Amino acid sequence: MKLVALPEAIAEFQEAVAYYEKQRPGLGLDFFLAIEATVDFAAEAPGAGLSLPGPDPRFQVRKYVVKRFPYLVFVAGEVSHRKIVAISHAARRPGYWRDRLK
């Protein structure tokens, strides 16, 4: 199943890629590939991420840890229609993205 990202998640992703690329040429690509691998895993194994409480029992929220980078990918929605709601630095305030679930 293909996952669609909310515009806010895409913006977070683009900002992080630019940040890492500025730190060291090629690191942005490494980050891009790490996020891509995490999103692919989330699409293939929807129940593998850490389950978080959602606004409704049918509405799943899952957290996936990105390898090598201090980032998390949050995926939410009903099993047949899930979206990437955030690509967040692990140190960012927990739950800042919850208003995106509406």
What domains are defined for the chain? Answer: 4-91 (3.30.2310.20)
Per-residue pLDDT of 71-87, as tens digits, reads 999 999 887 789 999 99
CB within 8 A of 42, min separation 6: which ones?
3, 48, 49, 62, 64, 73, 75, 84
Q: How far is CA 84 from CA 51, 71, 100, in A?
A: 14, 13, 10
Of 82-86, 90-94, 97-101, the least confident:
97-101
Per-residue pLDDT of 12-32, as tens digits, reads 999 999 999 999 999 999 999
Helix crossing, 27-44 with 7-23: angle to 10°?
A: 150
pLDDT mean across residues, the chain: 94
pTM value? 0.93
